[in-house]
Chain A
Amino acid sequence: MADPLLKVTDLKIEATAYPPGEPPQDITIVEGVSFALEKGRVLGLIGESGAGKSTIGLSAMAYGRGGVRITGGQVQVNGRDILKLGTSGLRRLRGAEVTYVAQSAAAAFNPARKIMEQVTEATLAHGRASKREAETRAVALFDKLGLPDPETFGNRYPHQVSGGQLQRAMTALALCPEPELVIFDEPTTALDVTTQIDVLAAIKDAIRDTGVAALYITHDLAVVAQVSDDIMVLQNGHRVEYGATDQIINAPREDYTRALVSVRSIVHEEKQPGDDPVLQASHVTARYKGTKFDVLHDINVALDAGQTLAVVGESGSGKSTLARVITGLLPPSKGQITFAGRRLSSDLAGRSREDLRELQMIYQMADVAMNPRQTVGTIIGRPLEFYFGHRGAEKQRRVIELLDKIEMGAGYIDRYPAELSGGQKQRVCIARALAAEPRLIICDEVTSALDPLVADGILKLLLNLQKAENVAYLFITHDLATVRAIADSIAVMYQGRVVRYGTKSQVLAPPYDDYTDLLLSSVPEMKLGWLEEVIAHRKMESAGH
């Protein structure tokens, strides 16, 4: 039997960790991972952050990020162990036989060079085609990947095209040298759902048409189910389960895989709105200083005490701007905010301390929302001092109470943010918001940076706290699964307008407006063939129009 294209045997990868206040130590990132990939097949690598997916993917190019080192096992490409290749041998492998598609194409393209130059660079550097051939190939790839004006697309600079287009261009970059293996490292994670579906379809077509083999790395099982033949589930650098896509999705054998498949197990009973809202935005229109167009147009939404209003939309739809208006960071040009029966000053400086206390915020990036040089106790204790004047033992007692509420316990009181996991950091931020005993918490993409299982835990916590404290949430997110899980009412935003607004059961029931339909149908579903169904359906609809 011929050798498989890629054969990884008993891979071991280590890195040097620098724990604060301790000597550096070697830690094992990946251990005992083996798999093989035949020509033209697609293997999905799935797991949460820290599972070692990207590290394993890059090992197929014998590349270690930062201080990461491959210390054991074999990585064979076409039968030869690439870990034994020297610098020039690796150079011939990288960008020629094996290529790479990075997660953030926006960062992976050099801002100072034209797209065409970057797409054809590896092909030319390895002498795999003449300049003219490479450019013809690139244009054909641009065309296949659905990029606008494929003939001239390459003349632009990366900042002149959108994120979704750049991600397709990255795929063209990887396919241009006609490699045998492409590593896709979370290629659609940074995109909006409505963009993700197109890029995903383009990547899938490109893989099928060129017959290239691929490693597809993602944390989203529903996405990988659409493109891969086989799936390997990873956890903490170890293989949990490895099998055909169909088996992993429909008949997972391991508990961890089952947890990944059935994530979002939240049951939440929708509450009906009353007639005395805690927050009401009426006819809010806003623009940023020094710009000539409104970013919010006539927004009218209301939120009852103890309920959740989810604001959904893609990036640039005005969700976060609405939060800025409500918090007073951006005074609206028209309209007003009513909060707990009183009219809020449109400007932050005009708000009373009571206004500030009752309206708290939690952010997407928990680690930058906390001072890294303060302990958890200081961080949570600050609002207690500021709003209630608690000191000493009283403050300590309240901090511990709050730590209990976020299910972390008094043991964390002297820890620093750097010593916490991503989920724990977000919990501390929640405790800090709760410490002010607010009526409303604005949650701005609070689970977007977290792994699905961790995010699930945070959402459950938020719902339990809502029941106990009767706090209202204005929940900003682009993730419809989250919305389904926790919302009582929903406002769908598009280009600065609320295009659909009502209780969850109203908003999520047909008939839909065009945008909501597009948004809802773009959310990947955990079933095989979903992508083809949606694309076929859309083609039919556009043919019908």
Chain B
Amino acid sequence: MHPVLILVVQRIALGLLLLVAASVLIFAGTMILPGDVAQSILGQSATPEALANLRAELGLNEPPVTRYFNWLFGVVQGDLGTALTNGQDIATSMGRRLSNTLFLAFWAAAVAVPLAIFLGLLAVLYRDQWPDKLISGVTLASISIPEFLIGYVLMYFVAVQLGWFSTVAMINDSMTLLEKLSAIALPVAVLTLVVLAHMMRMTRAAILNVMQSAYIETAELKGLSAFKVIFRHAFPNAIAPIVNVVMINLAYLVVGVVVIEVVFVYPGMGQYLVDHVSKRDVPVVQACGLVFAAVYIGLNMVADIVSILANPRLRHPK
């Protein structure tokens, strides 16, 4: 078997193992939360018999290990359980939220990643000249301002004053793609500003690091243009660090956008999670935690695999 294949399979196996470990942590974490689910469902006036019945019905009397495996077994089969508060199937109601979140994250990434890498390359090309300083300054400023503030400022100027986009980012299935894009334009802009600086600065640093190498001098002495030197000789050797920081930011776009969702009233995963935490709806919280963990681990696994594939020494062994 090709050594790269072995490495990739190892990474995937490790990712799965990590996911199982995360599920244990999530389950244990929700177990040790104070309070009693049956009590919170039935309220203070419930009779002891009713509480006991409900506990038995919910399986709360089983030992934790049994409950964990019951839960895990269900998850593997695609059954995330039912929400305690409204009795709905979690997988169904979360599915719509998740697809909304992924929709927003996808378009934010589609704008932010190419822009960040392009700006990073531009900053290298004009290193220590005004374009570099301008890019660094603007991106640093945008990462330093809290995202909700940027959100409200954009909302005020772009939506209220100019009236270009709507202030709330409500989307539903009856909208066309263009209508949806128009609805999420502002949150995408805010998210782009938030993740841009990190990726752009890493791109710049990674390429500048490679630019010290002897083979860059060779390329310069071949009389290649500065663009060719950077794009053909420096960039391929800087992929691994860039991909890592890109994936961390993509993960942030999926799991860390609660504030933006609240600001723009966007029906995504973040709001869904926050709602159910406040209602102490444990199965929903567990399911959300598991999905977030899966996204995080999955994206970082992809970063690892891309780094492995980007290394010619691993791809083409002696």
Contacts and interface: CB of A to CB of B under 8 A. Distances in A.
Say whether A associates with B: yes
Contact of A107 (B214, B236, B313): B214
A227 interface: no
Interface stretch (A88-96, A281-289, A302-310, A469-477): A88-96
Contacts of B318: 159-160
B95 to A, nearest CB: 41
Interface in A80-127: 90-96, 99-100, 102, 104, 107-113, 118, 121-122, 125-126
Contacts of A109: 215, 218
Nearest to B215: A110
Contact of B217 (A91, A96, A102, A122): A102
Contacts of B312: 111-112, 157, 159
A65 interface: yes
A113 B219 CA distance: 12
B214 to A, nearest CB: 4
A501 interface: no
Interface stretch (B17-25, B136-144, B183-191, B220-228): B220-228
Contacts of A412: none
A431 B266 CA distance: 72
B224 to A, nearest CB: 6
A416 interface: no
Contacts of B221: 61, 63, 94-95, 99-100
B198 interface: no
B213 interface: yes
Given A95-B223, A125-B224, A126-B223, A111 B214 contact: no
Contacts of A173: 218
Contact of B313 (A65, A100, A111, A121): A111
B103 to A, nearest CB: 35
Contact of B224 (A63, A104, A121): A121
A466 to B, nearest CB: 39
Contacts of A90: 223
Interface string A156-189: 1101100000000000010000000000000000
B316 A157 contact: yes
B224 A107 contact: no
Q: Which of B220, B222, B237 has the most CB of A within 10 A?
A: B222
Contact of B218 (A102, A125, A157, A160): A102
Given A112-B236, A112-B312, A102 B224 contact: no
A152 to B, nearest CB: 13
B233 interface: yes
Contacts of A61: 221
B224 A91 contact: yes
Contact of B237 (A65, A102, A112): A112
A95 B310 CA distance: 28
B213 to A, nearest CB: 7
Interface in B187-242: 213-215, 217-225, 228, 232-233, 236-237
Nearest to B224: A125
B215 A92 contact: no
Contacts of A99: 221-222
The majority secondary structure among interface residues of chain B is helix
A104 B214 contact: yes
Interface in A253-312: none
Contacts, number: 77
B112 to A, nearest CB: 25
Contact of A95 (B222, B233, B313): B222
Nearest to A98: B221
B222 A121 contact: yes
Interface in B68-113: none
Nearest to A123: B222
Nearest to B216: A110
Contacts of A104: 214
Contacts of A108: 214-215, 217-218
B169 to A, nearest CB: 41
A425 B215 CA distance: 30
Contact of B220 (A63, A93, A126, A159): A63
Contacts of B233: 110, 112-113
Contacts of B218: 100, 102, 108-110, 118, 173
Nearest to A92: B223
A159 B236 contact: no
A91 B221 CA distance: 8
Contacts of B222: 94-95, 99, 121-122, 125
A112 B215 CA distance: 10
Interface in A385-429: none
B219 A159 contact: no
B53 to A, nearest CB: 60
B128 to A, nearest CB: 13
Contacts of B313: 111, 157, 159
A102 B214 contact: yes
A65 B220 CA distance: 11
A112 B223 CA distance: 19
A325 to B, nearest CB: 27
B309 to A, nearest CB: 12
Contact of A125 (B215, B228, B237): B228
Contacts of B213: 107
A93 B221 CA distance: 9
A112 B313 CA distance: 9
A65 B214 contact: no
A122 B220 CA distance: 10
A110 B213 CA distance: 9
Nearest to A61: B221
Contacts of B224: 91, 95, 121-122, 125
Most central of B215, B224, B316 by chain A CB within 10 Å: B215
Contacts of A160: 316, 318
A68 to B, nearest CB: 12
B210 to A, nearest CB: 10
A91 B220 CA distance: 8
B223 A91 contact: yes
Interface string A126-139: 10000000000000
6 contacts: A61-B221, A63-B221, A90-B223, A91-B224, A108-B217, A159-B312
Given A107-B215, A125-B224, 12 more contacts: A61-B221, A63-B220, A63-B221, A95-B222, A100-B221, A107-B213, A110-B218, A111-B215, A111-B237, A111-B312, A113-B232, A122-B224
The 9 closest A-B pairs by CB, nearest first: A95-B222, A94-B223, A95-B223, A107-B214, A122-B222, A112-B236, A110-B215, A91-B223, A100-B221
